Amino acid sequence: MHSVKIMSVIGSAVPATLRAKGLLACWYLVQDGEPISGPLASLPAAEALFQSLVPSTLHH
């Protein structure tokens, strides 16, 4: 079974375009260790995308 998770990155791992906007952290959705979303500017945005991709029966 494939596993989708939310991963956060901080500091220099944040893309330059987001750092230029003052963000020091961003979030990605990853599946089996591979990013499946672009960098997201907030945890709530990552959580919303996660909820839309993962059936509610798979997480509690």
| pTM score over 0.85 | no
The pLDDT assigned to 60 comes to 44
Which range of residues forms the domain containing residue 40?
Answer: 4-55
The pLDDT assigned to 57 comes to 47
What secondary structure, in 3-state letters, does 1-60 show?
CCCEEEEEEEHHHCCHHHHCCCCCEEEEEEECCEECCCCECCHHHHHHHHHHHCCHHHCC
pLDDT along the chain (60 residues), means of 10: 89 96 97 93 96 66
Q: How many residues does the chain have?
A: 60
Diameter over CA atoms, the chain: 39
